[in-house]
Amino acid sequence: MKRHLFRRMGRFLRPQASSLAGAAALAALSGLLALLVPLVAGWAVEAIGTGPGAADLTAVLRYCAAGLGAAVLSAVCSYGASAALVRVGQTVSYTLRKAAFQQITQLPVRYFDTHPAGDLISRVCYDVDTVNAALSTDLLQIGTSLLTVIGSFVMLLMLSPLLSGVFFLTVPLSVLLTRLQMKHIHPLFRRRSQELGALNSFAEERVSCQRAIRVYGVEAADLRQFAEKNDAASETYYKADCASTALGPSVNFINNLSLAAVSVFGALLYLGGGLSLGALSSFVLYSRKFSGPIRETAELLSDLQASVAAAERVLDLLDQPAEDGDLPGAREPGKLSGAISFRHVDFGYDPAHPVLRDFSADIPSGSMVAVVGPTGAGKTTLVSLLLRFYTPQSGTITIDGLPIQQYTRDGLRRRLAIVLQDGWLCGGTIAENIAYGVPGATRAQIEAAAKAACIHSFLSSLPDGYDTALTDSGAGLSKGQRQLLALARCFLSNADIVILDEATSDVDPETEEQISAALERLRRGRTCFLIAHRLATVRTADRILVLQDGRIAEQGTHQQLLDAGGIYRVLYDAQFS
């Protein structure tokens, strides 16, 4: 276990200091009471005596009652400590999970380019639960075991220093064996968490695209891929669990050797008069109390290794740098006129492979500008830069003459509305989806936005109307209906700049006509930035930019570009010939 890990966890544990102190006090009291039981048992054996009629039954009963009382009080204190640590574990895991999810919302978009959603879900859920298990149960058992070992050590020395020497000959061997095995076990548990994250990521991806899997008939291939990842996860589980399982029996074997030695040498001391029968009985019980926690701790250390690996993954997520903050003096944008300018912008997700090269363009306030071009030309990248998901390697982007970095990031994004190709919807009612990002919107405002987006009639025809519950993917709605709901969200947001990224792709002609009509209403008084493959939706644009290899190859109106007979004409003929 790494010291820095505990320091990093300190900020989550410090608020629980009083509860931890209370649990520690109860655990210590429980351990001390439990340590009295072998001593009192030895006194009871002494009271029984070795000769006929030598038993002092009154003393025997008194000692038995005292031992029973100590055992009951120990159990009660142990329960109190357990209950306190369960509360601590739940509180820390709640705080840790909240911090992890909040961190996800603050990470730069580029982080999600290389980290699958399933792996992040595994960290927020499974890994946090593993840490919780360690705090709720393992921590108490290890602490109690440590106290028991120390207390038993002291009592063993007090009862018989000579016999203690025989007993402790095997302790260094147990410690050495445990250290050697722990060095081997920790990497296995780290690998286990990684493989589980990969499996979760694959499963999450495939569950979300079942329709496509059925359409292409690749169920068997997907099952094979799942089996491979499942085998890898199972194999790492097996290796980690096998390595950790071997630790307990190894330590137990050494402890049994120690007990055998104590029994033989203890009997010789008793026969030689160097140790009473009661003291020998207490010594044997204390030796078991000393050895038992060592064995249990060895077994618990495997679980603790899993918790350490899980904590490392969660803390690694928390340690990731958040999205760049606002510049000092950044201004909160009020209403924007929407004049957008790109000047000599160079950008690549990998700087060695630029997507945009010396890109320059002006989008006048209140105009609709469409960007078209082949796949990979950099169309969607323009949107990502405008939303400040990424920062250009060089060049500037301005809105109303001010570089976008001089606006507050969140304020700028609130003045922009976007409709994506997949028409993303979240779990909740239809009304809640339309009002997403506009807290406090009234039902009248929501319905007005739906009417403007040409979807009010359909929503009113549903049994529960605007209160119809949706799943996170909008199951039960067509793609066109999801797009119209996204457009309704744009109307309600009253944004100054509207971005439509392939908003009419893969919809039927009737729905495309509805979307086009909604777009005509939406563009009034706003600047519209339209990304499209289907050229039917860009014909009414004030200007069309044709991108190729990250640069503007052509620009003009629909008719001007057709007459020019260039790339746009080729794209147009390919779609409509």
Domain end among 318, 350, 378: 318
pLDDT 10s digits, 284-312: 888 777 776 766 666 676 677 778 888 88
Helix or strand holding residue 394 (H, E): strand 394-399
Strand 394-399 relative to strand 340-347, pairing: antiparallel
Share of the chain above pLDDT 70, in %: 87
Write down the residue that tokens 């924007």 correspond to.
Answer: 336
What is the tens place of the pLDDT at every residue in 490-519? 888 888 998 887 766 656 667 677 777 777
Which whole-number Å values give the CA distances from 220 to 202, 212, 225, in the listed order?
15, 13, 9
Buried b (16+ CB within 10 A) or exposed e, 493-527: bebbbbbbbbbbbebeeebbebbbebbeebbeebb
CATH assignment at residue 344: 3.40.50.300
Beta-strand relationship, 527-531 and 497-501: parallel
Same domain, 269 and 353: no
Say if 227 falls within a structural domain: yes
Distance between CA 443 and CA 434 in Å, rounded? 10
d(CA 507, CA 485): 14
The answer on 355 and 284 residing in a single domain is no
Say if 59 falls within a structural domain: no
Give whole-number Cα distances, 483 to 434, 511, 514, in Å.
11, 9, 10
Domain extent for 431:
340-576
Q: Which of 318, 349, 374 is the last residue of a domain?
A: 318
> End-to-end alpha-carbon separation of the chain, Å?
68
In a domain, 328, yes or no: no
Q: Residues 385, 345: contact at Cβ < 8 Å? A: yes
- DSSP output for 36-83: HHHHHHHHHHHHH-SSTT---HHHHHHHHHHHHHHHHHHHHHHHHHHH
DSSP one-letter code for 467: G
Domain-located, residue 458: yes
Looking at the fold, whether 249 and 298 belong to one and the same domain comes out as yes
Whether 213 and 346 share a structural domain: no
What are the pLDDT tens digits along the chain (577 aa)?
455 666 778 788 888 888 888 988 998 898 888 888 888 888 888 778 665 666 778 888 888 898 899 889 989 998 898 888 888 888 888 888 888 888 888 888 888 888 877 788 888 888 888 888 777 777 777 777 788 888 888 888 888 888 877 777 777 776 677 667 667 776 777 787 778 777 877 777 676 666 556 655 667 777 888 888 888 888 887 777 777 766 667 767 777 777 777 777 777 777 777 778 778 788 888 877 777 676 666 667 667 777 888 888 888 888 888 888 888 988 998 888 889 999 999 999 888 888 999 999 999 998 989 898 877 778 888 888 998 888 999 999 999 999 999 999 888 988 888 887 766 777 788 898 888 878 888 999 999 988 888 888 888 998 889 998 887 566 677 777 888 888 888 888 888 998 887 766 656 667 677 777 777 777 788 898 888 877 777 888 889 999 888 888 899 999 999 999 888 898 888 877 6
Instruction: Collect all residues with Cβ–Cβ distance below 8 Å to 84 and sequence separation of at least 6.
Output: 19, 20, 22, 23, 26
**Same-domain check for residues 513 and 374:** yes
CA dist 325 and 539 (Å) reads 39
Asked if residue 551 is part of any domain, the answer here is yes
3-state secondary structure of 363: strand
Angstrom distances, CA of residue 380 to CA of 101, 421, 459, 491, 501:
27, 11, 31, 22, 7
The β-bridge partners of 499 are: 418, 529
Please report whether residue 376 resides in a domain: yes
Rounded to the nearest 5 degrees, what angle is found at the Cα of 540, between the Cα atoms of 537 and 541? 90
Q: How far apart are CA 124 and CA 273, in angstroms?
A: 63
Q: Which amino acid is at 456?
A: H
Q: Are residues 272 and 372 in the same domain?
A: no
Give the total number of structural domains in the chain. 2
The answer to whether residues 403 and 497 belong to one domain is yes
pLDDT on residue 522: 76
Whether 16 maps to a domain, the answer reads no
Whether 135 is in a domain gets the answer yes
Alpha helices in 49-170 (DSSP H): 57-106, 109-114, 117-122, 128-133, 139-159, 161-168
Tokens of 536: 């039917």
Does the reported pTM lie above 0.85? no
Task: Enter the DSSP assignment of 550.
Answer: T
196 and 273 part of one domain: yes
Beta strands across the sheet bearing 543-548 = 416-419, 497-501, 527-531, 368-372, 543-548, 551-556
DSSP 3-state of 260: helix
> Is residue 280 domain-shared with residue 348, that is, in the same domain?
no
**Do 302 and 448 sit in the same domain of this protein?**
no
Instruction: Tally Cβ neighbours within 10 Å of residue 17.
Output: 11
Confidence (pLDDT) at 1: 46
| Nearest alpha carbon to residue 119 among 226, 191, 227, 200 | 200
556 and 425 belong to one structural domain? yes
- Do residues 313 and 350 share a domain? no
Domain of 222: which CATH number? 1.20.1560.10
- The three-point CA angle 169-36-283 to 5° equals 30
